[in-house]
A and B are shown apart, each in its own frame.
Chain A
Amino acid sequence: MRTIVAASAVLILAVLPVAAPWLQFVLTLAIAKGFAALGVAVLLRAGLISIGHAMFFAASAYGVAFLARAGINDLGLLLILSVLAAALLGAIAGLFLVRYRAIFFAMLNLAVSMVFYALCAKLYSVTGGTDGMTVPVPAVFGVVLGEPTFKSVLFYISLALMLLVGLAIQRYLNSPLGHALAAVHSNEIRLEYLGIPVWAVLLVAYVVSAALAGLGGAIAGFAIGRVVPDFAFWTASGHLVLIAVLGGIGGVPGAFIGALFLELLHSVAVTVTDAWNLIVGLTLIVVIMFLPQGFYGLFSRKEASSL
């Protein structure tokens, strides 16, 4: 049943831009943010809230821009290298950050990301400062495409990646390592007495979450065609937490459901009122009060309650 629901949802997403072409950009961006929110959701399983994951989102997008400037012009290669760069940055930051818990973890992530933001904004000669950097249209499997065609290809590649990466992350969360991650939230003492190195479990999760945010950032960079320091600003990180909580952390689809909901809500709300944040805020209050498992809880109450 769940497979049918998921397949139908993906099919609907795939045909939506055909019916309403303006949706293609919105949906691509939603999937990109969904990847990053999934990264945040992975850490939320361990009870760790990162208010700094926009750093990895931005780092990967800057990575694409730098690599393109260096002459690499293949979409696949650019995606892989930029995600690896985000993962590497995650490993370095994670080594230091996974030692902390609760508010200290949240604030240190925020602090590190703001240092990154400041560097991006101030190192004008390297990053273009607040003007940012251009992300040119790359070749896809050696084929040079026009911008509109590339944006369509990017959307469908993003959709496919959402499925493939989503399944891989679901496997990870169901694996012993994924269960150990959720157990960090429950009882670190027992984990230590089982001989499980909590820091290593968290470091793996942190690297995975950074890579996911990186994948989202690279896709967003391609979709927008530009990367600016605001990608890394703390409000962008807060936005990712918002998406993860709205969508629900009980399952992988939650992050994407949350991202799609917020992007679509934003697109519609801004045409009605300037105060679209009011609508988003009210929605969040309703979700927290009545859907503690997020939107995903509507689809999978039993599974969410077992985690």
Chain B
Amino acid sequence: MTNVIDQKRVFINRDFQTRGEAIDFLVENLVEENIVSDRKTFLSALQDREIEVSTYIGHYVAIPHAMSSVVSEPTVSVLRLSKDIDYNADGDQVHLIFMLAIPESGGKEHLAILSRLARKLMHKEIRAKLENSKTEKEIVDTLTS
């Protein structure tokens, strides 16, 4: 069984020019891990969700997410960028991206992990820790503590 939060899906100080590039990268990684079976379907699910309400949550943080039948396990992917990118039409700048992939039959425990993670991101101290973490492991520890 896959861990919801795992070092394998934490990427720090990567460089991307656009939101599209960053999201593509994260989704590609899930496809390689066999968590997402169909790249296109999941990308369009993310896009649909984004259109409903921007997943930018302030403080340079975005949490793109989607529920889809092409997702086999609920996971979170973390991407810390080396420089901010434009995240939406409002020109919001993003530095940290947490992408949640949620299967349609999401088990309660997994959903609970994701929602606890979402709650954590609302805390200044947590966000500061994530910004200052030197290793992937530190990020996982912060998110799972």
Same assembly? no
